[in-house]
Structure 1
Amino acid sequence: MAGSIMIRANKNGELTTVKALIKHPMETGLRKDKKSGKKIPAHFIQEVSCKHAGKEVMSAQWGASVSKNPYFTFRFRGADKGDRVTLTWVDNQGGSESGEAEVA
């Protein structure tokens, strides 16, 4: 899934706000294909993490109930403008991707 993460990071005062949109199907494994009638295999993000300056500033465990193409936001302290943040996800089928943004 090349290019599946869109990420922005903006500093306002002491807090840096990170906003991210991940393009991912997030299938529960419960839906059926309308044409074949067969179940669509589960395919969802299990872990999301964000690092700044080599330190993890956010970590989340997700499951099948998160919607398709999830959007989320979080804040953390300690970044300066020009720093970089890296967001990484791993799904239940072994797929993963990372995206990076410069703090504005």
Structure 2
Amino acid sequence: MSDIKIRAKLEGDETTVKCLMSHPMETGLRKDSKTNEVIPAHFIREVVCKVKGAVVMKTSWSGGVSKNPYLSFKFKGGAVGDPIEIAWTDNTGESQSATAEISG
């Protein structure tokens, strides 16, 4: 169901991380057009990024984020080749993670 694609690039002393997460991100407010039933809420609640095991970014989301969210952020302290991990947990208890290396 879900997939995370990560790109991390070091430029000077700052690493730019870009990631795309596959997730339906349902608010719980939409209705199914065929059945007119409310589609249950299903959204990413927390996203955490770690570099070499240390948390460099943590965020909390709600149902207001679009389907298949894109996230981009910068941090200082990374180096080329360092492992970077992005992990999310949603409101149903599902979770997903992926790793990549910082490029130069």
Shared fold (TM-score, shorter chain, > 0.5): yes
User: Which residue of the partner structure matches residue 15 of structure 1?
Assistant: 14
SS at match of 1:42: coil
1:20-55 Cα distance to aligned partner (Å, 9 max, x none): 000101000000011111000000000000000111
Aligned ranges 1:93-104 → 2 under 5 Å? 93-104=92-103
- TM-fit CA distance, 1:82: 0.7
Show the counterpart of 1:6. Answer: 5
Aligned residue runs from structure 1 range 1-104, under 5 A: 1-2=1-2, 4-104=3-103
- For the aligned residue pairs, the C-alpha RMSD in angstroms reads 0.7
Count of aligned pairs between the two proteins: 103
Unaligned runs of 5+ in 2: none
Q: Deviations over 1:31-90 (max 9, x none)?
A: 001111100000000000000011100000000000111101001111110111000000
Which runs of no fewer than 5 residues in structure 1 stay unpaired? none
TM-score (norm 1): 0.96
**So what's the TM-score if we normalise by structure 2?**
0.96
Structure 2 Cα separation of the partners of residues 31 and 79 of structure 1: 41
**Using the alignment, how far apart are the partners of 1:5 and 1:89 within structure 2?**
9
Secondary structure at 1:24 match in 2: coil
- Tell me the distance in 2 between the aligned counterparts of 1:51 and 1:28: 27
| Distance of 2:18 and 2:66 partners within structure 1 | 16
SS in structure 1 of the partner of residue 40 of structure 2 = coil
d(CA) in 2 for partners of 1:79, 1:28: 35
